[in-house]
Structure 1
Amino acid sequence: MEVKHIPLESIHVQLGAKMVPFAGFLMPVRYSSDIEEHQTVRNGVGIFDVSHMGEFILKGEKALDLIQKVSANDATLLYDGKVQYSYLPNEQGGVVDDLLIYQISPIEFLLVVNASNIEKDWNWIVSQNEFGAELVNISDETCLFAVQGPLAAQALQPLTNVKLDSMSYYTFEKTDFAGFPNVIVSATGYTGAGGFEIYVANEQAEGVWNAIMQAGEPYGIKPIGLGARDTLRLEMGYCLYGNDVDDTVSPLEAGLGWVTKFTKPFVNSEKLQQQKNAGLSRKLVGFELIDRGIPRSHYELCDAEGNRIGEVTSGTQSPTLGKGIGMGYVPTEYSKPGSEIFVKVRDRLLKAQVVKIPFVKK
């Protein structure tokens, strides 16, 4: 399969990024070290180029009807300038993808999907479009920069008239930014450190990137790779599609009940309601290692006797906490905070404790 290239690849190479294939794209995984980049975002401000993400426009009088059918959350709660987190259930009880839904107007929406699922999601939504909604895939024409960290608002403020520090979480503005028109500035992110996501047309990308780097210089802004993005999201207990959720995993077991609104019909809603009523047999939990070690994806989770009870879906050494943390599916009886479980590393059982996520409190 041919690897795709993001528009600013040459800039990342000049900045010393290590480029690796990820979700079908060649992406910057790190510029300096994962830990240094992680701390930059947690304590200051960093910029990620996440232009591999997918963007679809849905518009027309029946666009909302299509969204209500394919999305588990209730999109009638949206208003102009509001963002909603949701997922696309499939007909087998799993998840096609998780996504963000932006209401641009009552008849126009922006859907932001995971890079690895762009084609799958597009085909799925098109197949469900019995409403005659107009769909436009703008993924290849759109760049996305995530400027994240507690200093993000101050760093970006010179570039826009929008009062960034008074924007509510999960809202956005379509505005002039760094001298460019029609830029979406969104108070969202995947790090739990606060900040903004900036959507621009490809031809604006280099100008906007350079303006952000210049405006952020007094605040110590640095480019950040996907390595730190992963440790940052895991400290917040945010799911990563393909690791913690996928086509085969129940969204209710994955802890996505809070965005599953049974007040309306949607794809597979009856079966998910039955599953909820019957009770879950397993749940996605967060755990911290008590013994020293690093839990990695696919390591076995065991009980005290060494019997397999599940596996790690995401795991790392938390730069903030200085200990191993992870997520995985375990039988419900092991899912309460304080429950003792073990991570099998080679032939050793490392003691761990189930904890309430996020691991790092804001």
Structure 2
Amino acid sequence: MELKKTPLFNEYEKLGAKVIDFGGWALPVQFTSIMGEHEAVRTNAGLFDVSHMGEVLVNGDGAEAYINHLVTNDVSVLEEGQAQYTAMCYEDGGTVDDLLVYKKADDEWMLVINAANIAKDVAWLKQHILGDVTVTNVSDETALLAVQGPKAERILQKLTDTDLSAIGPFRFAENVTVGGVDDVLVSRTGYTGEDGFELYMPAKSAAALWQRLAEEDITLCGLGARDTLRLEARLPLYGQELSAKISPLEAGIGFAVKTAKQTPFLGQDALQQQKETGLERKTVGIEMIDRGIPRTGYQILSELGEPIGFVTSGTHSPTLKKPIGLAIVNADFAGVGTKFFVEIRQKQAEAVVVSAPFYKRERTK
């Protein structure tokens, strides 16, 4: 099957990026080096193409109630121009997807969903339509660039007359002109643990804005650095920390689960039950004591050799200079300081539970 391509695929080719198959998409894993790109985002700024992400518009008088019925967080608290992180769940509490919800107006909303889940999510959304709403998948017509890092605002501000300092975290502005490109939605969100912006625009405008941004003091970044950055910041990845078999509570994003909100939502009873009876397993941060890198799927064993969980994500942290990971384990083994073994290439390597996120940026405002 031919891989899907974003509007910027030709830019990757011109730049000689290393392109891989990522969930059916041809995407750059790196332009120069993962380590260098990671460091650039932590110290300066990086530019990512994330146009593979999905965008869905929800319109109509019943849009808010409909979305609130589908998601775990409470969108009724949102103001126009505000975004919120949330999840959609199955009735048993398993996760359909994690997503961002944007309130553009009382009757106009945008959902941003994971690329590998676009078809599944859109079918789920349409299957559960309530009231006077229309659901429109605009993923193919929409491109998304991310400018991330401590100097993101300074760099991006050169390209727009809109005051970016007025856009707070999880806020956005619409119809912004950036680098000569009109009709950009500028959102102060990201997936790196750093300050930064995500820029939504018509797909036909993406190459022009990418080229203009690349002229600035910014590093082009691929999926490799995006993954190491989000892992250091303990941000979950669907298919690893979250899945149909892992609930938002088990994944550690309970802040986005409002079981007491007035609107009943799919999965509410199961999630409420998990809260009341206590979780049987939890997602924890781990560091390796012995040599080896914990990789997705590696089994975790107690000191008695019993299987107690598995690694969901792992890497050698470019910032901390040591192997780290996230793992879902039996709740009895989730306390900070608990030691167990990760099975790496048929050998048992000792690891310890540590506080996560592993990295927190210094906040200047």
What range is the shorter-chain TM-score in? over 0.9
Count of residues in correspondence between the two structures: 358
SS of aligned partner of 1:96? strand
> Shift in Å at residue 271 of structure 1?
2.1
SS of aligned partner of 1:85? strand
For 1:91-106, what aligned pairs fall within 5 Å after superposition?
Answer: 91-106=91-106
User: What stretches of structure 1 of length at least 5 have no aligned partner?
Assistant: none
Code of the residue aligned with 1:92 in structure 2: it is D
- Cα shift readout 1:277-329 (whole Å, capped 9, x = no counterpart): 11111101111112222111111111123222111010000010111100111
- 2:287 and 2:354 in contact (8 A); partners too: yes
Paired residue for 1:31?
A: 31
What is the rounded CA distance, in whole Å, between the counterparts of 1:158 and 1:30 in structure 2?
Answer: 26
Code of the residue aligned with 1:104 in structure 2: it is K
- Tell me, yes or no, if structure 1 residue 123 matches structure 2 residue 123: yes
- 1:288 and 1:353 in contact (8 A); partners too: yes
- Tell me, yes or no, if structure 1 residue 339 matches structure 2 residue 338: yes
Paired residue for 1:284?
A: 283
- Cα shift readout 1:7-39 (whole Å, capped 9, x = no counterpart): 110111111111111122111111111111111
What is the rounded CA distance, in whole Å, between the counterparts of 1:328 and 1:91 in structure 2?
Answer: 24
Paired residue for 2:182?
A: 181
For 1:190-201, what aligned pairs fall within 5 Å after superposition?
Answer: 190-201=191-202
Of stretches 72-81 and 168-177 in structure 1, the one that deviates more from structure 2 is 168-177
Code of the residue aligned with 1:348 in structure 2: it is K
- Percent identity of equivalent pairs: 44
- 2:92 and 2:270 in contact (8 A); partners too: no
> Shift in Å at residue 361 of structure 1?
2.1
User: What stretches of structure 2 of length at least 5 have no aligned partner?
Assistant: none
> Shift in Å at residue 209 of structure 1?
1.0
Code of the residue aligned with 2:224 in structure 1: it is G
SS of aligned partner of 2:47? strand
Paired residue for 1:45?
A: 45
TM-score when normalising by structure 2: 0.96
Paired residue for 1:113?
A: 113
- 1:306 and 1:349 in contact (8 A); partners too: no
SS of aligned partner of 1:252? helix
- 1:58 and 1:110 in contact (8 A); partners too: yes
What is the rounded CA distance, in whole Å, between the counterparts of 2:95 and 2:348 in structure 1?
Answer: 32
- Tell me, yes or no, if structure 1 residue 207 matches structure 2 residue 229: no
Paired residue for 1:261?
A: 258
What is the rounded CA distance, in whole Å, between the counterparts of 1:358 and 1:271 in structure 2?
Answer: 27
- Cα shift readout 1:194-216 (whole Å, capped 9, x = no counterpart): 111001101111111112112x2
> Shift in Å at residue 166 of structure 1?
4.1
SS of aligned partner of 2:314? strand
Alignment RMSD, CA only? 1.2
What is the rounded CA distance, in whole Å, between the counterparts of 2:289 and 2:150 in structure 1?
Answer: 30
Paired residue for 2:310?
A: 311
What is the rounded CA distance, in whole Å, between the counterparts of 1:156 and 1:252 in structure 2?
Answer: 36
